[in-house]
C-alpha cells in the first residue's frame, strides 16, 4: 500500500528533525551519584525488564558485600545505596543483572570509585558544559571527551547543564525523553567510575516561571524525568542544599554544597527560583531567591576550605535576553548589583540582601566561578576571582571563537571548543587544565587528542588562613536572672606559644545554625594573656543572649577558659568555670564518653549542654545509666551546624520521673565525622550554685 504524499512528507520532516544520538544498543547503563565519605548511590537503568543486584568491596580485595536483588523495570532508574564505606578509600563494584526472571546473572565490568577525601589529601575532578547533543554536536567527539576525562581518574565529574535541551523541543517537550536516556548512556562512559554532579542549564526545561504546581508543566515533567535518572545531592550530614519540596515534584536537588579534600564545591541554580519571566530589557527577574542566597552566604562564610569554587550555568543576570557573558557582565543585576546604565539597583531590587553575589564571593574568598552557556573556553579574572567559561565537549569545528565578541567577552584567554577541564587539587592549590578533544581526522603531528592547550593554578584566597586550631566554648551568657541577678561570662585566653596569634571569636548562639554567627578578630602576642570581661557584651555588643563561642587561632598554643557567674544576694558572686574544648576534648564519632555524677531530686538538678563542633547537622545520643548499671533511658538530640542547645533537667527530659543520684550519661554521635562539646551543670536547688561535670 502506498503512502499519501502528505503523510510521506510529514514522516520525512519528522525523520529530518530527529537527532541521531549515536547510542549503540546496550542492555543497561550505570551512573554513580551522591558520593559521601561513607556511601555512594549506584543508579541502574535497564532496557529490557529483568532484575539484578550490586556486589562491591574494597578495591584492594577482601570481603565483598552483595545488595538485595531488585526488579529492573524498563527504562527506570533503580538506585542502590552502598553505605558503611570507609572515608578516602577506593571501592570496586559490579552490577549483576539478567533479563526476565530466570536464568543466570551476568556481571558488568568491574569499576572503581572513591569516597570523599579529608582535608590535605590531593585529588582530581573534571568539568564539562553544554553537551547539547544537537545538530552542532559530534557524538563521537563527545565520547572522546568523556574518555579523556576518564583517563584523568577523577573523583567526580561536574556537568554545567544545557544537557537535555528540553525546551528546544518546543510544545512537544516530552519528545526530549530520548535525549535524557542518550545522556545517560554518554555519562555512563565516565560516571560509572566518577560520580556525576548535574547543574541546571537554561535549556534543561526546569524554569520556575514555567511551573504551575501541576505535574504537567515542562518544568515538573523535566524535573521528574531527571531526578529518576540522575541522583543528585540531597541535604544530609554530608551535603547542604535545597530543603524545600517543589509542588508536584519533591526535592529538586538543584542547589547544593559539599567539601571534598581542601575544596568547597558550591552548585547554584538561578532557574527554578526565577518565578517571573523577564521583559528583555533588564534581568532583575533572574534570581537565586532568598532561601538559596542566604544558604549560599552561610555556606561561604562558614567554610574553612582552602579553595572555594562556585558552579553555575550562567551569571544571575548577564547581558541581554540571552544572559551572556563573563567578567564584563559581572557588575550587573543580582550578580553585581548594577542596573544596565551602571547605577546601583541592588538595594531597591534586593531589599534585605547583604550584598551582590560577586561582592559576597570577594568577601568570602571564592577562588573561582565556573560557568557554561557561552560555548567557549574563556579564563578571566576580576577582583582576584577567576571566572572560567567552560567549553563544549562535542563541538567539532576547531578553534571557533567568533561568538566571544557577540557574547561580550573582551578580556582574558579565549579559546575554542572542544574538550573538558581537569582540576588537580594538591597542597591546597588547584591546577586547571583545558584538555582538548579531537577526532582522529583532526589530529596532526603537532595537535593530538588529549593535549593540554591551556593551564593555570588557582590559589586559595580565603580572607583568613585556615586556623591552626580551634576551641569551642560550649556556653556563654548575658542573661538577666531573678532579683536583679545577671549571669555573665568572662573569657580568658593565654598565648602559651612563641608566635603571635591571630584570633577570631565567633558567637554561635543557641538552638540555631551557628555558621553565620558574628565574628570578631584580635591578635594576641606570644606569651600574653587577655580576658574579655562580659564577652557577649564587650566583644559582640549583645544586650542579652547565650550560646556557644568558637575561637579560631593561627597558633595551636593557647589556653582558653570561660567563667560564668552572677552576683550573690549576700554580696560577692558565685558561678562556674567551663573550659573551652580543644579538638582532643571533643566527643567524636566512634569514641563515646561519659559524664558521671548526674543527679535529679529535691536537692539538685542536672542540665546538659551540647555544642556541635562541625559545620554539618549532628545527632547526639544520650543514654542514662544508673549507679547499679541499669539502662534507664536514652534519647537522640539533633543539633544544627555549629548549633548549641541546653537540655534543662536532663533526667526528666529523658523521661525518668524517679529521683536519681550517681547516674552517668553516656554521650555519642551516630553522625559520620561528627564531634561535639558537652558538659553538665549540677545545680543546688537551695543556692542555685552550679557545679561543672565534664565528659571523661
Cα gap 159→144, rounded to integer Å: 16
Nearest distance, CB of residue 375 and Fe ion, angstroms: 8
Strands 519-524 and 558-567: unpaired
Do the beta carbons of residue 595 and residue 692 sit within 8 Å? no
Residue 675 exposure: Cα atoms within 13 Å on the Cβ side: 14
Strands 307-312 and 366-371: parallel
Binding mask 317-356 for Fe ion (x = CB under 5 A): ----------------------------------------
Instruction: Choose the binding region for Fe ion from 162-170, 315-323, 330-338, 548-556 (rule: CB under 5 A).
Output: 162-170
Decide whether 162 or 433 has the Cβ nearer to Fe ion.
Answer: 162
- Look at the alpha carbons of 584, 587, 589, 595 in this order and tell me if their dihedral is positive or negative: positive
SS3 223: helix
Decide whether 200 or 560 has the Cβ nearer to Fe ion.
Answer: 200
Cα gap 357→434, rounded to integer Å: 26
Residue from 36, 99, 138, 202 in contact with Fe ion (CB under 5 A) = 202
Cα gap 355→496, rounded to integer Å: 39
Q: Residue 154 is placed in which grid cell? A: 577523577
Residues from 66 through 95 that contact Fe ion (CB under 5 A): none
Nearest distance, CB of residue 271 and Fe ion, angstroms: 10
How many residues bind to Fe ion according to rule CB under 5 A? 4
Residue nearest to Fe ion (CB): 373
Instruction: Choose the binding region for Fe ion from 78-86, 159-167, 180-188, 254-262 (rule: CB under 5 A).
Output: 159-167
Residue from 184, 324, 350, 373 in contact with Fe ion (CB under 5 A) = 373
Decide whether 165 or 677 has the Cβ nearer to Fe ion.
Answer: 165
Residues 6+ apart with CB under 8 A from 102: none
Instruction: Choose the binding region for Fe ion from 30-38, 161-169, 227-235, 550-558 (rule: CB under 5 A).
Output: 161-169
Decide whether 202 or 675 has the Cβ nearer to Fe ion.
Answer: 202
Decide whether 223 or 539 has the Cβ nearer to Fe ion.
Answer: 223
Decide whether 208 or 690 has the Cβ nearer to Fe ion.
Answer: 208
Decide whether 301 or 374 has the Cβ nearer to Fe ion.
Answer: 374
Nearest distance, CB of residue 310 and Fe ion, angstroms: 17
Query: Per CB under 5 A, does 262 bind Fe ion?
Result: no
Nearest distance, CB of residue 317 and Fe ion, angstroms: 14
Decide whether 129 or 548 has the Cβ nearer to Fe ion.
Answer: 129
SS3 563: strand
Please name every residue paired with 595 in a beta bridge, in sequence order, or none if there are none: 665
Nearest distance, CB of residue 248 and Fe ion, angstroms: 25
Decide whether 270 or 302 has the Cβ nearer to Fe ion.
Answer: 270
Nearest distance, CB of residue 157 and Fe ion, angstroms: 19
CA distances from residue 123 to 126, 421, 430, 575, 644 in whole angstroms, order as listed: 11, 14, 9, 50, 34
Cα gap 263→536, rounded to integer Å: 33
Burial classification of residue 105, based on how many CB atoms lie within 10 Å of its CB (0-12 exposed, 13-18 middle, 19 or more buried): middle
Nearest distance, CB of residue 319 and Fe ion, angstroms: 13
Decide whether 51 or 162 has the Cβ nearer to Fe ion.
Answer: 162
Nearest distance, CB of residue 334 and Fe ion, angstroms: 17
How much helix, strand and coil, in percent to the nearest 5, is found in the chain?
Answer: 15, 40, 45
Instruction: Choose the binding region for Fe ion from 37-45, 74-82, 103-111, 158-166 (rule: CB under 5 A).
Output: 158-166
Nearest distance, CB of residue 202 and Fe ion, angstroms: 5
Decide whether 132 or 144 has the Cβ nearer to Fe ion.
Answer: 132
Instruction: Choose the binding region for Fe ion from 268-276, 339-347, 367-375, 438-446 (rule: CB under 5 A).
Output: 367-375
DSSP 308-350: EEEEESS-SS-BTTTTB-SGGGTTBHHHH-B-TTS-B-HHHHS
| Radius of gyration for the chain, computed over Cα atoms and rounded to the nearest angstrom | 29
Decide whether 163 or 606 has the Cβ nearer to Fe ion.
Answer: 163
Give CA angle at 614 (612, 615), nearest 5°. 115
Instruction: Choose the binding region for Fe ion from 365-373, 386-394, 425-433, 655-663 (rule: CB under 5 A).
Output: 365-373
Nearest distance, CB of residue 196 and Fe ion, angstroms: 18
Nearest distance, CB of residue 209 and Fe ion, angstroms: 16
Decide whether 162 or 183 has the Cβ nearer to Fe ion.
Answer: 162
Nearest distance, CB of residue 653 and Fe ion, angstroms: 53
SS3 letters across 31-82 = EEECCCCCCEEEEEEECCCEEEEEEEEECCCCCCEECCCEEECECCCEEEEE
Instruction: Choose the binding region for Fe ion from 112-120, 331-339, 366-374, 656-664 (rule: CB under 5 A).
Output: 366-374
In eight-state DSSP terms, residue 213 is S
C-alpha dihedral, 241 to 246 to 251 to 254, nearest 10°: -50
Nearest distance, CB of residue 314 and Fe ion, angstroms: 6
Cα gap 17→263, rounded to integer Å: 43
Decide whether 358 or 373 has the Cβ nearer to Fe ion.
Answer: 373
The verdict on whether omega for the bond into residue 548 sits within 30 degrees of 0, i.e. cis, is: no
Nearest distance, CB of residue 170 and Fe ion, angstroms: 17
SS3 383: coil
Nearest distance, CB of residue 204 and Fe ion, angstroms: 9
Instruction: Choose the binding region for Fe ion from 115-123, 194-202, 514-522, 553-561 (rule: CB under 5 A).
Output: 194-202
Phi (first) and psi of residue 171, to 5 degrees? -60, -30
Residue from 37, 51, 162, 328 in contact with Fe ion (CB under 5 A) = 162
What b-and-e string marks burial along 2-27, b requiring 16 or more CB atoms within 10 Å of the CB? eeeeeeeeeeeeeeeeeeebebeeee
Instruction: Choose the binding region for Fe ion from 26-34, 195-203, 216-224, 640-648 (rule: CB under 5 A).
Output: 195-203
Decide whether 155 or 162 has the Cβ nearer to Fe ion.
Answer: 162
Binding site for Fe ion (CB under 5 A): 162, 201-202, 373
Amino acid at each position: 500500500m502506498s503512502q499519501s504524499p502528505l503523510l510521506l512528507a510529514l514522516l520525512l520532516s519528522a525523520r529530518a528533525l530527529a537527532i541521531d544520538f549515536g547510542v549503540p544498543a546496550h542492555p543497561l547503563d550505570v551512573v554513580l551519584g551522591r558520593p559521601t565519605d561513607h556511601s555512594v548511590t549506584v543508579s541502574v537503568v535497564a532496557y529490557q525488564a529483568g532484575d539484578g543486584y550490586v556486589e562491591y568491596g574494597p578495591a584492594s580485595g577482601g570481603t565483598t558485600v552483595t545488595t538485595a536483588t531488585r526488579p529492573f523495570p524498563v527504562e527506570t532508574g533503580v538506585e542502590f545505596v552502598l553505605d558503611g564505606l570507609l572515608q578516602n578509600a577506593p571501592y570496586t563494584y559490579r552490577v549483576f543483572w539478567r533479563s526476565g526472571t530466570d536464568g543466570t546473572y551476568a556481571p558488568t565490568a568491574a569499576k572503581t570509585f572513591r569516597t570523599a577525601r579529608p582535608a590535605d589529601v590531593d585529588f582530581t575532578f573534571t568539568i564539562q558544559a553544554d553537551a547539547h547533543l544537537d545538530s552542532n554536536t559530534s557524538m563521537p567527539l563527545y565520547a572522546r571527551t568523556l574518555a579523556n576525562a576518564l583517563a584523568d581518574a577523577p573523583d567526580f565529574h561536574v556537568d554545567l547543564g544545557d544537557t537535555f535541551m528540553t525546551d528546544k523541543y518546543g510544545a512537544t517537550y516530552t519528545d526530549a525523553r530520548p535525549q535524557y536516556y542518550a545522556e545517560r548512556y554518554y555519562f555512563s562512559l565516565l560516571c560509572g567510575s566518577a560520580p556525576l554532579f548535574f547543574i541546571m542549564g537554561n535549556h534543561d526545561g526546569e524554569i520556575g516561571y514555567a511551573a504551575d504546581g501541576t505535574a504537567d508543566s515542562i518544568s515538573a515533567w523535566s524535573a521528574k524525568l531527571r531526578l529518576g535518572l540522575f541522583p543528585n545531592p540531597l541535604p544530609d550530614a554530608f551535603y547542604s542544599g535545597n530543603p524545600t519540596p517543589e509542588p508536584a515534584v519533591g526535592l529538586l536537588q538543584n542547589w547544593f554544597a559539599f567539601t571534598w579534600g581542601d575544596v568547597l564545591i558550591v552548585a547554584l541554580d538561578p532557574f527554578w527560583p526565577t518565578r517571573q519571566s523577564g521583559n528583555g530589557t533588564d534581568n532583575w527577574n533572574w534570581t537565586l531567591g532568598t532561601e538559596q542566597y542566604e544558604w549560599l552566604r552561610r555556606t561561604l562564610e562558614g567554610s574553612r576550605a582552602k579553595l572555594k569554587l562556585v558552579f553555575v550555568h550562567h551569571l544571575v543576570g548577564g547581558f541581554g535576553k540571552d544572559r551572556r557573558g563573563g567578567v564584563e557582565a559581572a557588575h550587573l543585576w543580582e550578580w553585581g548589583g548594577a542596573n544596565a546604565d551602571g547605577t546601583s539597583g541592588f538595594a531597591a531590587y534586593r531589599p534585605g540582601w547583604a550584598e551582590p553575589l560577586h561582592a559576597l564571593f570577594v568577601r568570602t574568598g571564592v577562588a573561582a566561578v565556573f560557568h557554561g552557556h557561552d560555548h567557549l573556553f574563556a579564563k578571566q579574572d576580576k577582583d582576584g576571582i577567576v571566572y572560567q567559561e567552560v567549553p563544549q565537549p562535542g563541538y567539532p569545528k576547531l578553534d571557533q571563537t567568533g561568538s566571544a565578541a557577540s557574547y561580550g567577552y573582551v578580556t582574558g584567554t579565549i579559546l575554542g571548543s572542544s574538550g573538558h577541564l581537569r582540576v588537580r587539587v594538591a597542597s591546597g592549590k588547584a591546577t586547571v587544565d583545558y584538555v582538548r578533544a579531537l577526532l582522529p581526522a583532526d589530529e596532526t603531528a603537532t595537535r593530538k587528542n588529549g593535549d593540554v592547550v591551556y593551564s593555570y593554578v588557582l590559589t586559595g584566597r580565603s580572607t583568613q588562613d585556615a586556623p591552626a586550631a580551634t576551641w569551642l566554648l560550649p556556653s556563654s551568657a548575658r542573661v538577666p536572672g531573678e532579683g536583679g541577678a545577671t549571669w555573665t561570662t568572662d573569657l580568658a585566653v593565654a598565648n602559651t606559644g612563641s608566635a603571635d596569634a591571630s584570633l577570631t571569636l565567633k558567637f554561635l548562639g543557641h538552638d540555631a545554625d551557628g555558621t553565620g554567627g558574628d565574628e570578631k578578630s584580635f591578635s594576641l602576642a606570644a606569651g600574653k594573656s587577655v580576658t574579655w570581661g562580659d564577652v557577649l557584651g564587650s566583644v559582640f555588643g549583645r544586650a542579652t543572649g547565650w550560646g556557644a563561642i568558637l575561637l579560631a587561632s593561627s597558633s595551636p598554643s593557647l589556653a582558653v577558659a570561660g567563667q560564668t557567674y552572677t552576683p550573690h544576694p549576700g554580696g560577692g558572686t558565685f558561678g562556674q568555670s567551663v573550659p573551652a574544648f580543644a579538638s582532643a576534648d571533643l566527643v567524636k564519632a566512634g569514641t563515646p564518653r561519659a559524664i558521671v555524677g548526674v543527679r535529679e531530686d529535691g536537692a539538685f538538678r542536672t542540665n546538659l549542654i551540647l555544642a556541635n563542633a562541625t559545620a554539618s547537622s549532628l545527632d547526639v545520643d544520650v543514654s542514662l545509666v544508673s549507679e547499679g548499671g541499669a539502662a534507664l533511658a536514652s534519647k537522640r538530640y539533633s543539633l544544627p551546624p555549629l548549633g548549641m542547645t541546653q537540655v534543662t533537667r536532663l533526667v526528666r527530659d529523658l523521661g525518668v520521673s524517679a529521683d536519681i543520684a550517681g547516674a552517668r550519661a553516656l554521650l555519642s554521635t551516630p553522625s559520620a565525622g561528627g564531634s561535639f562539646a558537652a558538659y553538665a551543670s549540677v545545680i543546688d536547688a537551695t543556692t542555685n550554685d552550679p557545679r561543672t561535670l565534664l565528659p571523661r
